Amino acid sequence: MSQVIEVKVPDIGDFSDVPVIELFVKVGDTIKVDDAICTLESDKATMDVPSSTAGVVSEVLVKLGDRVSEGAVLLKVDTAGVADAPATTAPATASSAPAAPVVAPAAAPTAGAVDVKVPDIGDFSDVPIIDLFVKVGDTIKVDDAICTLESDKATMDVPSSAAGVVSEVLVKLGDRVSEGTALIKVQPGGAAAVVPAVPQAQVSAPQASPIATPPAPSAAAPAAGLPLGSKVHASPSVRAYARELGVDLAQVKATGPKGRILRQDVTGFVKGAMQSGVVPGKTAPAAAAGGGITGGGTLDLLPWPKVDFAKFGPVEVKPLSRIKKISGANLSRNWVMIPAVTYHEDADITDLEAFRVLINKENDKSGKKLTMLAFLIKACVSALQKFPEFNTSLDGDNLVYKQYYNIAFAADTPNGLVVPVVKNADKKGVFEIAAETGELAKKARDGKLGPADMSGACFTISSLGGIGGTYFAPIVNAPEVAILGVNKSTMKPVWDGKQFMPRLTLPLSLTADHRVIDGALATRFNVYLAQLLADFRRVLL
Ligand code: CAO
């Protein structure tokens, strides 16, 4: 018998008056239970509203941009002739099908189910869940995103450590969780591909800010990266990520549950686009970076060469680490979008190195150690103070001058490059900076850097001095405008006007964004930096 049922907004937690940003149905559509009707987006989360009934849509009572709360009627559905429609379901219960903020309903936990818990999330605890991607009955793979946590500093997707069928969801939207909180129970399925624990690096990778990663989106960042009405499913963090990279989500192939676009889909899209020579979102990112690639838009490159390497000899294929995948996308963007020039200079560090060795000898017993990196950080702060254009970021047509001095340094780890930040380096002494870089480098190697450790940088130093090399051309770490590369110091004969003298010479390589810094200014910066390193007393002036 024909019956018209109202489909209402279910319990959406503490949210009310939330705008409809996507609408997936129209009059005449045949829908099933759980089909997505629309997406609501608050400033904290994006929620798909599933249908609580099956049938033919006879009326759509909302339009894009309407603001709705729990109980608002979205659709009228005619259940005539539809087998799985809950024919006797009263309108009131039609709204009881929860949307995204769902707590696991009936399914009883099964023996053998594995708990998937919040992994190590650095110093964060009591962090709210702003997005939940799984529900009871979903089949998930290892590394599928389970939920998004958002602290005041960063948005983190929590990947699953187990594969199988979700038998219980133990949390709901808005719940606050910490390391070790059980999120879901998973009944291992198929080949029982349960991974005992999420490796540290994988956990920290989504938060990681490898060399070119932009700052994590703040909680206040607007979530939508698309115009109203675009049919894409993605969490706020993924939308923010796409927006930062200038990616149009409508072009990205989704691999998440129910067609949801995951962060790695966006990264993969950028990689694919870079390899095929097409710059994704070709006008938006250029505009955001203060002008650059417009009009022409694409790079018109040849596609990435496809070679069957195995034809020429044995090969082994290994997946890139998560950090490498993330940093790769960022490096590619920075390489393409920043018209960068590298300037070289030699600094005479004979006296500074002698001083460093002397002080370290004096402090031999205390365990305190001065490093060349600490002196470089301190000297760079002085150079940034003298040349404030280096302590800026482009924001559209504006240049943002920072009045704080946070210096990042590249740290090599087994999983790839990460860039921890020494905050307020102008207020710290070289001993303090040396101790802090030592601690941050250890955390980096252990995969334990949190988003806060890697955000807020003004300028980056990439020191290969402990390894060797003469000069190199580092890639600017956007949205910074310059980066200093340092190689191994060597004794060189230097003419003092009368004779050649052996001087310990440190090779410096400064890459600067030419949109902000001209060659003359960059060279002045380098010369000044070399003067500071040659006579460190100048730092006091
Ligand atoms: N010239 C000569 N020797 C140097 C030097 C320099 N510029 N810088 C450091 N050294 C020496 C130190 O004296 C020390 O030797 P001893 O053990 O005999 O005292 C040794 O190298 C190690 O130095 P350190 O403990 O001070 O560490 P570091 O500053 O060299 O490095 C860190 C710290 C985190 C920068 C480093 O571990 C690292 O990860 N570097 C790689 C960065 C990188 O990969 N950059 C490339 C980015 S672009 O792809």
Nearest CA to ligand 1 atom 25: 371
* Cβ of residue 7 lying under 6 Å from some atom of ligand 1: no
For residue 83, pLDDT beyond 80? no
Cα(14) to ligand 1 centroid in Å equals 51
Instruction: Give the ligand 1 atom nearest the CA of 440.
Output: 34
Q: Looking at the predicted structure, is the pLDDT value of residue 320 above 50? A: yes
Residue 63 pLDDT exceeds 50: yes
**Contact (Cβ atoms closer than 8 angstroms) between residue 245 and residue 337:** no
Q: Which of 345, 371, 436 has the most ligand 1 atoms within 8 A of CB, as the residue to mutate?
A: 371
Q: What would the mean pLDDT of 360-378 be, rounded to a whole number? A: 95
In short, whether 449's Cβ falls inside 6 Å of ligand 1 is no
| Residue that wins the pLDDT comparison between 207 and 81 | 81
pLDDT digits (tens, 9 = 90+) for 411-450: 999 988 999 999 999 999 999 999 999 999 999 999 999 9
Contact between 512 and 340 (Cβ < 8 Å): yes
* Non-local CB neighbours of 447 within 8 Å, separated by 6+ positions: 199, 200, 201, 203, 204, 413, 415
Q: Is the CB of 373 under 6 A from ligand 1?
A: yes
Helix (H) or strand (E) holding 110: none
**Overall average pLDDT of the 514-522 stretch:** 98
Q: How confident is the model at residue 297 (pLDDT cuts 50, 70, 90)?
A: low
Residue 262, pLDDT score: 81
The minimum-distance atom of ligand 1 relative to the CA of 437 is: 34
For ligand 1, pick from 412, 433, 439 the residue to mutate: most ligand atoms within 8 Å of CB: 412
Per-position DSSP letters for 400-436, written without gaps between them:
EE-SS--EEE-EEETTEEE--EETTGGGS-HHHHHHH
CB 22 within 8 A of CB 39: yes
Is residue 406 very low, low, confident or very high in pLDDT (cuts 50, 70, 90)? very high
The mean pLDDT value of the chain amounts to 81
Mean pLDDT in residue range 495-502: 97
Cα angle value 62/66/72 (rounded, 5°): 60
pTM (global) more than 0.85: no
Picking from 388, 344, 339, 338, the residue whose alpha carbon sits closest to that of residue 523 is 344
292 pLDDT higher than 90 = no
The residues annotated as belonging to the active site are 514
CB distance 80 to 56 below 8 Å: yes
Indicate if ligand 1 lies below 6 Å from the C-beta of 441: yes
Query: Ligand 1 pocket: which of 335, 415, 463, 509 to mutate (most atoms <8 Å of CB)?
Result: 463
Cα–Cα distance for residue pair 318/196, rounded to 1 Å: 21
Beta carbon of 446 within 6 Å of any ligand 1 atom: no
* Model confidence at 187: pLDDT above 60: yes
How many helices (H) and strands (E) would you count in the chain? Answer: 10, 29
Residue having the nearest C-alpha atom to atom 44 of ligand 1: 412
112, 188 Cβ separation under 8 angstroms: yes
H/E segment holding residue 115: strand 114-117
416 contacts 324 by C-beta, under 8 angstroms: yes
Give the pLDDT score at 194. 30
Contact 228, 250 (CB under 8 A): no
Q: Whose CA is nearest to atom 27 of ligand 1?
A: 466
pLDDT tens, residue by residue, 439-488: 999 999 999 999 899 999 999 999 999 999 999 999 999 999 999 999 99
pLDDT for res 247: 83
Query: For ligand 1, is residue 369 a contact (CB within 6 Å)?
Result: no
> Does 417 sit in the ligand 1 pocket, CB within 6 Å?
yes
**Mean pLDDT across the stretch 263-283?**
67
pLDDT at 196 over 50: no
Q: Quick one: pLDDT band at residue 82, thresholds 50, 70, 90?
A: low
Report the atom number in ligand 1 closest to the C-alpha of 412.
Answer: 39
Residue 105 confidence (pLDDT): 32
pLDDT digits (tens, 9 = 90+) for 347-357: 999 999 999 99
